[in-house]
Structure formats: C-alpha cells, structure tokens
Chain A
Amino acid sequence: NAGVTQTPKFRILKIGQSMTLQCAQDMNHNYMYWYRQDPGMGLKLIYYSVGAGITDKGEVPNGYNVSRSTTEDFPLRLELAAPSQTSVYFCASVGAANTGELFFGEGSRLTVL
C-alpha cells in the first residue's frame, strides 16, 4: 500500500527554471494538499483540492500552480523558480470525512540557485 507518493525527492533548479512536483495517492482520498516547510518554520499551505477539478489557494500560493484532473494526482507546478522557493514540499491527503488526520508523502527537497 503506497499511500502518498511524491517525486522527485530532491531537485536543484536554477533561477527562472520551471518544474513540476508530482504527487499521487492510492487511497481514493477526496482532499489533497501541498505544504511547504522552511527551516525552523511550520508547514504553510500552498494549494489544496477538495476533489477532481476543484482547487483553491492556501496561505502562500504565489509562484505556484496546481491542477487536479484525477482523484489520484495533484501536481504542483513552479513557474520561474526563485531562491525564496527553496524549501521542502509535502503533499498530503485525507478522505471524505476530512478528519484533519492527513496522510503525508515523504517530501520533496527543492533548492533554487
């Protein structure tokens, strides 16, 4: 049972490059989230989705885009990478009851130089 799978685990980008962080879950969860964690800080919500075709902004959406074409996948797109986007990114999901008891992926560490 894979749970929440994130790829890549590590990536180094140059300023201005673009990339997509992939997230897939196999638990048929309705809700999916992208968080970022900066050193010494808590997790900040970037975007979330309550189901296929529905997405909404979180606390820190600038510089990112998402899509949710299927229940399973929730990719996060970084356009024009900036050093401020250097962070660890976590994807998470939870079922229809939205208990708040999120299942997290292992994280993707992104460095922008």
Chain B
Amino acid sequence: GAVVSQHPSRVICKSGTSVKIECRSLDFQATTMFWYRQFPKQSLMLMATSNEGSKATYEQGVEKDKFLINHASLTLSTLTVTSAHPEDSSFYICSASPFKDRVAYEQYFGPGTRLTVT
C-alpha cells in the first residue's frame, strides 16, 4: 500500500520557538495533502488542505500565520508551527491520496508527530 512518512515523530520545543514538521509520500505523488491535529482522547480535526504549487486552504479558526504550510513538491508538504505555545502541544497527522486516472482513492496517513511545547 501507499506509504506516508512524517518527520520528526516527536519534538519538544520551548515556548516562542518554531517547529517544522515534514510529510512525505514515499511511493506516490500527491497533489493534495491534508494536515490534522488531534488532542488526547479526541478525534482528528482538519487544520488545512495543502495544494502543490499553491496556497493552502485553512479551516475556520486555524491561524494561517501561525501554522505555515508549504507544499513545494508532489511528494512533500511541511507544516511550521511558529512562535509555539504550550496550547499548541498536540499530535499532528498528515495524509495524502494517490490519484489514478484522475480519481483519488483512500487517504493514507502518516504516523503522526507528537509536539510538546514547554
């Protein structure tokens, strides 16, 4: 099956610093990737849709200047949490869909990145 990787898997940073999380589709090209956030014992909340070569589309309530998304290639999207605060501590998960014949199939999820802001 299709594989999506994330790096790093865990990161601890100090309040006020920035953290970059990478999401890569390893064996397929993805024009669209999605970024989710998950708090403990809760479901996944979509933060933004990342489109290769264009600006990301952010969900209501998600600050685009705080969560910078760059989809520089068909296999890589990055999420940068700027000026991180303890309330940004969460599990961040990306996903991507391989396209065949212009139809998107199941989304494949990365293993997630645990961010802890101290």
A binds B: no
Chain B residues in contact with chain A, CB under 8 A? none
Chain A residues with CB under 8 Å of chain B are none
